[in-house]
Structure 1
Amino acid sequence: MSAGGILIVCSKPELIKEIRALMLQQGYSSAEYSLSASAARRKLDFFEPELILVNSPLQDELGIDFILDIADNTDAGIIVLAKHEHLEDMQYRLEKVGALILPKPINKMTLLQTARFAAQSRKSLMGLKTINEDLEKKMKDRKIIEKAKWILVEKMNMTEPQAHRYIQKRAMDTRTSQLKVAEEIIQSF
């Protein structure tokens, strides 16, 4: 298995050492760590891990706010190790960001399987997000082209097929996109 890096956020150095060794052994290219949420936030400014593992509670917070803060800005899978008394609250508050919450204590095999699942799930989710953003942009562009076409129909007395062809031909003649031509038409009327 060839994997990217992991960020371990944990207030216990002995546990960090154990998890770090395990993850490097499993093929992670690097295993960075932070003892607190604030240090982890700073580390994420220059380190883009494939997986973020949070052992809750942290030195400066429980870990929920940290995960909510970073979830939209990372493609990393997120796993939280939580005490039983915090499980329900964490699951409720973190399910919307796709973080996986595991009860402590946890065995190595469960951690490794969850790590693989978290990283793959997050990659799939980010891929779908990218596809969705691309589709939204195409729809927005199409609306602009349609608006320009209807301006030509109304102001230049063209038929819809003539307006469509006009935009296509002008884009080819000027070696620009139909969107750029449409934007110019909209601005000129």
Structure 2
Amino acid sequence: MSAGSVLIVSGKPESAGSMESMLVKEGFYPVYCAHSANEARRQFINMQPDLLIISTPLPDEQGIDLVFDAHERTSAGIVVIARPEHLFDMQASLEKTGALILPKPINRLTLLQTVRFALSVRNSLTQLRSERDSLKKRMDERKVIEQAKWTLVEKLSMSEPQAARLIQKRAMDLRLPQIQVAEEIIKKYE
């Protein structure tokens, strides 16, 4: 699985460094580190990470707000590593973000499995969003074509099949998509 970019956010540079070297050894690349929530937010401007690992608490905040910001600004899979006494509160707060929350201390195998799972979920969601957007675009185009067809029925007293055929024929003759022909018809008659 190609992981794309990973951003590790940890207030402890040694902890971030050990996670970074482990992920690089496992084939994840590139791996970036930020040592505060604000530094991570600045990095969101320059990159769209595929995976975000946040080890809480951070020097400038608990980390919950960063998860919400990351959820809004990126499509990254999010893994949060928290102290056991904060797990319940974090799970309740972050439930809608889809972040995976693990208790400290974390072992290598658990982190790797969770990271792979987060990426798998992220990839599935990205594919679903793409399919949804494609369907929405096709439905929107269909609505415009239908509007043009009914405009021809109304303005030129055509039957519905005649209007549909006219749009199809004009699109083929002009080597244009039907949506473009439909938009021109709407502009012309309305």
TM range (shorter): over 0.9
Q: Tell me the equivalent position of 2:127.
A: 127
C-alpha RMSD of the superposition: 1.5
Q: TM-score, normalised by structure 1?
A: 0.93
Q: TM-score, normalised by structure 2?
A: 0.93
Structure 2 CA distance for aligned equivalents of residues 69 and 182 of structure 1: 41
Residues 91-135 of structure 1 deviation map (CA, whole Å, 9 limit, x = unaligned): 223222221111112211111100111011101111101100110
Bigger Cα displacement from structure 2, 28-37 vs 137-146: 28-37
| Shift of residue 59, structure 1, vs aligned partner | 1.2
Structure 1 CA distance for aligned equivalents of residues 145 and 94 of structure 2: 41
Q: Tell me the equivalent position of 2:89.
A: 89
Q: Tell me the equivalent position of 2:63.
A: 63
Bigger Cα displacement from structure 2, 20-29 vs 40-49: 40-49
| Shift of residue 44, structure 1, vs aligned partner | 2.2
Residues 25-82 of structure 1 deviation map (CA, whole Å, 9 limit, x = unaligned): 1111222101111101111222333321000111111111112112233232110001
Alignment of 1:20-59 (within 5 A): 20-59=20-59
Structure 2 CA distance for aligned equivalents of residues 118 and 71 of structure 1: 13
> Which 5+ residue runs of structure 2 have no aligned equivalent?
none
Counterpart contact for 1:75–1:123, Cα < 8 Å = no
Counterpart contact for 2:44–2:73, Cα < 8 Å = no
Q: Tell me the equivalent position of 1:161.
A: 161
Residues 141-167 of structure 1 deviation map (CA, whole Å, 9 limit, x = unaligned): 101110111111122111111000000
Structure 2 CA distance for aligned equivalents of residues 148 and 2 of structure 1: 45
